[in-house]
Structure 1
Amino acid sequence: MGQEKGRERCVLVGLQMNANGRELLDWAISRVAEEGDRVVAVHVCRDSDLKTTTTLSLIEMLDDYLAAYEGFCNLKQVALVGRVSRGNSIRKILVKEAKHRDAFKVVVGANKYYSLGGSASLAKYCAKKLPPTTSVIAVQNGKVLFERVIAKPSPGGEPKPMEKVDISTPRLHNVEAGIDQKEEAKDDDSLGGSVTVPVQKPAEPSLGWPLLRRRDDARKLSVVQWVMNLPNRSLSFTRLQLDLIKELNSVLSNNCSNCRWFRYDELHRSTNQFCSGSMIGKGGNSQVYRGCLANGQQVAIKLSKLSEEASTNFLLEVDIITKLEHKLIVPLIGFCIEDNTLISVYDYFPKGNLEENLHGENAKSPLPWAVRFKVAIGVAEALSYLHSGCSKPVIHRDVKSSNILLTDEFEPQVSDLGLAIWAPTNSTYLTHDDVVGTFGYLAPEYFMYGKVSDKMDVFAFGVVLLELLTGRKPIDDENPKGQESLVMWASPILERGDFMELLDPDLNENYDEVEMRRMVAAASLCITRRARLRPQMREILTLLQGEEDMEARMRCHVDASSDTLDCEDDEAYPCSSIRSHVGLALLDVEDDASLASFEQSNLGSLDEYLRDRWSRSSSFE
């Protein structure tokens, strides 16, 4: 219902400071209050209450009691005010407060133990005493037991505007709500000693929420569209959303990123109502749409289903990506939470990703060598930044060709930090029970033991380098038996030093031999089985750029490998009960399918595979 500018309606809620009161207040804010309204929570203090406490103590208690609603009120853009009123007749106090404030609606609880006059007797009394322009509602356990519908006001009879009150800056909290009500037989018309406790600042006329702007108003952020009156919205799900929004606001306030909140209707319009023609990608739990914002900016909009796990992962992704600042890492433009959907907004790249340009059916022509080498340098630079160039090291965990986007100038852009985590600072690796990532790119120590370190990104980058060199997919079951895995196929060729056999025939020998040898050397180092023998990404970058002596580096690597060749530790040769990476990769799944978790299965001996895979004398013929 629209309101005149400069006017605000008053929704008065009578409550006691207990669990029932929280339930009622939650109901009133979510179901009754609208944008720009003022909700006045009135607690009646009887004389008998002052025998054990003071008015000031009650004010402080009410302030703390209502503090839990500040985040909720920011979402709804309503003002919340607490009021302690002295008197022995709850119903008369509420009527006087409602009249004094020209209340648009009065919401009270129903006492199921009260028999005289019925459980809704308090609401019926208020309806009898208040003017017909005031709606009165009695609620119990989220159900309306009594409602006096508001009458249309006569011309000129609209409630007068509320007086403005100076209110302190709000804090952000979670939310619960409700009421309990007990009618007293003794009446007292006095309102003496009533005190107003300001809790939440009224909504400002400008766009954006005060909560989502810096105190100096340096950042103006859009309003998150919040629909609280859907019949299937549960309180626990509401809390999940509110917790996430609270944390996201905290993340935004603690960095200088330009990331912002989007309104759902803005994103809805930008994608032509998320029509199928706008969809450019689809995964197991997400869809990606192409959109055009009102300012003409082309964006990619990702929709994911909200759950507890998704909420945790999304928060971590936002926390990481908003702290990064690199020209070759795709930034997060903004996000939105709508109903049970997480929405994230990124730049759109018409050229698509590296996988499409290398292996896609719609690729117009083979990527020239200059572009391939440019991509290799750029991705190495971005990963080096993640591992050692930013304030806190990051492990991407899902480096692959489909997560490398290309600009119009074929500049690579590392994207999708949905699986990224902060790297350990007090140990060389973490251990995870579940394995996540993409078939064909998983490092041996990760899929065998769940060891997580930046070296798993190094291994995956080596696979990307092999894709650039060969034009082959990481896993392709259309290849001859034994050659389905790119790593398995390329390894003996690298060991023989027959580099010409590696190269993509579509290049037609149009390549720079020095650059090619650098890339081959880098790929060989990256896919080293032992994680501790893989170089850091900054070393791979200097090798690709020609700043490091390639032959000296390779001799050093060979010597280190020889020193540990006979050391059959758990990283090198695990027990045969752990199964083959290749066997997993060749399951009946798409190339980019992600592995959420994996159990041991009878797919062959990884022990045998690794010994063959990395033996200097292996031939795979």
Structure 2
Amino acid sequence: MMVIFNGKNSGLHLNTGYEPKSPRDWSLRNGSEGCVRKESMCGNEEGFVMMKRLKGPDSSNAAWMDMSMSSSECEQACLSNCSCTAFISMNIDGMGTRCLAWYGELMDLVENTYEMWDLNVRVDATELATYTSKSEGFLGHKRQVAIAISTVVVPLFLVSFIAYMCLMKKRKTKRTLKRKLQNQSLNFIGFKGSLEGNELEDSSRHPDLSIFNLSCLVTATGNFSPTNKLGQGGFGSVFKGQLSNGQQIAVKRLSKNSGQGIEEFKNEVVLIAKLQHRNLVKLLGCCIQEEERMLIYEYMPNKSLDSFIFDHTRSSLLNWRKRFEIIIGIARGILYLHQDSRLRIIHRDLKTSNVLLDGEMNPKISDFGIARIFKGDQIQDKTTRVVGTYGYMSPEYAIFEKFSTKSDVFSFGVILLEIVSGKKNNGSYHKQDSLTLIGHVWELWREGRALDIVDSSINDSFVYHEVVRCIQIGLLCVQEDAMDRPTMLAVLLMLSCETTLPSPKQPAFIFRRPTNDLGSITGGGVYSINDVTITEFEAR
């Protein structure tokens, strides 16, 4: 059984029933082979060791027990199955206490400060006794250690404090000099202080971020030839390029007329360089030279998701299985932003055109120009400038200028419904009473005809229960009250595991057309049953 932490092969603590797969490599500080579970006989007085403050393993090998269980009942159920390797007793939004068990490999374990799960890992009797005795020995030894420390710590503290103050003074002087030199360099190339020296210094320390020369990018893109242009947005234009070593790249070039481009550029350089996930587009580097500001990304040969699902000729290339995999990939990418990365990121502009597809049609979230970082236990923020895309913005953000992780959940719900239906949320629905996709899906759901919304190009490939489940999860994500929407962790578990889902409440932004042309006879005009009017958005 191989155990993988955070996408990299490394071992569980050896006192929890695991040992290096290759002891020789482990002694050389090479943990790439990971760990394997020590040999044990099932039922031979096995037990569980609790690993605290963890994010749960990858849910692909997890399954819910059939009924609500206490922690002790969950332990006994897992212990009675020889294939069960770990369990968590937890409370999921709106579903009560549930028992989640893992079978086989434990993948993607990571320490986490936002979701502090206690994972119970199965070990044999010998390992359990060893772990228990060490824990008791530690408590018994703790008092002796405290006494020893108290006799030494005071004089050491005084010496250390003096040395620390001298070191800080020296570092401050060195940092001040370096910032002055760096700011002079930024001003020389025309950046004029829009990036602070410490921000660029922090991003440039990232081992995978390179500073590209302008002449190199001019050559790679054919002097930014129109034939190499991939698209255009509020930031500027994106060009395809090829480096001298044959690597293909996408160059995002800041438009000189972009009012918000400098801020977006700074945000992406400082923020994305710190994010690494298989479902996020990779930033290779940047270029700040003369009057040019450019971001260099890995090239996505299949462009964006919307170019497939909204194109009648290309939508058939995405059967249901591939669409479901894309939904899972997007959910994992958002969960990484909200919980698993060392920063808590709110994207604020999630939409199908910002989901790129690589050569194997794997989804990668892009465009972090208006993303925001949440710190510590912060759960909500407010902005004075609403930017984003109509049809994907949550009501609390579009109207009250408040955003949180639940704002991204709303956007994900819209994307999910668009993937299933092949229709845009803010498209035209001449033959239906509802004027939005959300409203149309809600009406069909209430009538028990949810499958009527499924894209006709996947009628021969979709799995009934998966599609119905996705539609229900999509409606749960676009509920009007942010508190009613699930977290992305709950969304991913609902997508991955068979369990009873709560019934969705009425979504936000349900617009209907009047029943007759006079309007005033029935209450008048196009209206929203949410009693909300949106008059202005700042487009990107």
Aligning the two structures, in what range does the TM-score lie when normalised by the shorter sequence? 0.5 to 0.7
Q: Check conservation: 1:68, 1:173, Cα contact below 8 A.
A: no
Query: Of the candidates 509, 529, 532, which is equivalent to residue 609 of structure 1?
Result: 529
Match of 1:358 in 2: 309
Displacement of 1:288 after TM fit? 0.5
Deviation at residue 502 of structure 1 after TM alignment: 1.7
Report the aligned-residue RMSD: 3.4
d(CA) in 2 for partners of 1:411, 1:353: 11
Q: What amino acid sits opposite 1:259 in the alignment?
A: L
In structure 2, the CA distance between the partners of 1:473 and 1:238, relative to structure 1 (3 Å rule), is closer
What is the match of residue 192 of structure 2? 239
Closer, same or farther: CA 245–514 of 1 in aligned 2, 3 Å = same
Establish whether residue 487 from structure 1 lines up as the match of residue 487 from structure 2: no
Aligned to 1:385: 336
* Gap change, CA 1:482 and 1:263, over 3 Å in 2: farther
Tell me by how many angstroms 1:469 deviates: 1.0
Q: 1:174 aligns with which of 162, 172, 183?
A: 183
Matches within 5 A, 1:366-445: 366-445=317-396
Q: Take 1:395 and 1:257, find their aligned partners in 2: how far apart are those partners?
A: 24
Deviation of 1:582 after TM superposition, in Å, equals 6.2
Task: State the match for 1:150 in structure 2.
Answer: none
Q: Does 1:328 align with 2:248?
A: no
Query: How far is the alpha carbon of 1:238 from its aligned partner?
Result: 5.2
1:469-508 superposed matches below 5 A? 469-477=420-428, 479-480=430-431, 482-508=433-459
Equivalent in the alignment of 1:512: 463
Q: Give the match for residue 405 of structure 2.
A: 454
Aligned counterpart, 1:252: 204
Match of 1:339 in 2: 290
Contact 2:441 2:453 in 1 (8 A): yes
Of 193, 196, 216, the residue aligned with 1:266 is: 216
Matched, 1:279 2:232: no
SS in 2 for 1:610: coil
CA distance in 2, matches of 1:541, 1:364: 24
Does structure 2 conserve the Cα–Cα contact (< 8 Å) formed by 1:354 and 1:405? Answer: yes
Q: CA separation in 2, counterparts of 1:328 and 1:370?
A: 17
> Contact 2:432–2:440 (CA<8 Å) still a contact in 1?
no
Whole-Å separation in 1 of the counterparts to 2:510 and 2:442: 15
Say if 1:332 and 1:479 are closer, same or farther in 2 by CA, change over 3 A: farther
CA distance in 2, matches of 1:336, 1:438: 27
1:338/1:542 CA distance change after superposition, 3 Å: same
- Give the residue type in structure 1 aligned to 2:529: Y
Q: Which amino acid aligns with 1:294?
A: S
Secondary structure of residue in 2 paired with 1:398: coil
2-structure distance, mates of 1:477, 1:495: 21
Whole-angstrom distance in 2 between the partners of 1:308 and 1:401: 24
C-alpha displacement at 1:363, in angstroms? 2.1
Q: Is the 8 A contact 2:409 2:487 kept in 1?
A: yes
Distance in 2, Cα, partners of 1:238 & 1:519: 46
2:246 aligned with 1:293, yes or no? no
Provide closer, same or farther for how the CA distance between residues 295 and 490 of structure 1 changes in structure 2, counting only shifts above 3 A: same
The TM-score normalised by the length of structure 2 is: 0.59
Tell me by how many angstroms 1:444 deviates.
Answer: 0.9
CA distance in 2, matches of 1:384, 1:494: 27
Counterparts of 1:604 and 1:314, CA distance in 2: 42
Between Structure 1 and Structure 2, whose CA radius of gyration is higher?
1
Query: How many matched pairs?
Result: 350
Tell whether the 8 Å contact from 2:429 to 2:436 is kept in structure 1 after alignment.
Answer: no
In structure 2, relative to structure 1, the CA distance for the partners of 1:538 and 1:426 (3 Å cut) is: closer
Out of 399, 405, 419, the residue aligned to residue 468 of structure 1 is: 419
1:507-550 deviation line (CA, Å, top 9, x unaligned): 2242112221221221111111110010000110011112x51x
Distance 1:437 1:363, change over 3 A: same
Question: In structure 1, what is the Cα distance between the partners aligned to 2:182 and 2:204?
Answer: 16
Q: TM-score, normalised by structure 1?
A: 0.51
**1:240 aligns to what SS in structure 2?**
coil
User: Which segments of 5 or more consecutive residues in structure 1 lack a partner in the other structure?
Assistant: 1-63, 72-170, 176-210, 212-223, 229-236, 566-571, 574-579, 584-602, 614-621
Aligned equivalents of 2:294, 2:446: Cα separation in 1: 46
1:544 aligns with 2:495: yes
CA distance in 1, matches of 2:478, 2:235: 30
Question: How much has 1:422 moved relative to structure 2?
Answer: 0.6
Contact kept? 2:510, 2:530, Cα under 8 Å: no
- 8 Å contact 1:424–1:430 — kept in the other structure? no
Work out the CA distance in 2 between the residues paired with 1:245 and 1:361: 49
Q: How far does residue 380 in structure 1 lie from its aligned partner after superposition?
A: 0.5
Equivalent residue letter for 2:323: R
Give 1:268 shift.
0.5
Closer/same/farther in 2, CA of residues 612 and 280 from structure 1, 3 Å limit: closer
Secondary structure of the structure 2 residue equivalent to 1:239: coil
Between stretches 286-295 and 493-502, larger displacement belongs to 493-502
1:257 touches 1:323 (CA, 8 Å); kept in 2? no
The answer to which structure has the higher strand fraction is 2
Equivalent position amino acid for 2:210 in 1: R
Q: Tell me the amino acid that sits aligned with residue 193 of structure 2.
A: L
Q: Distance in 2 between matches of 1:370 and 1:501?
A: 19
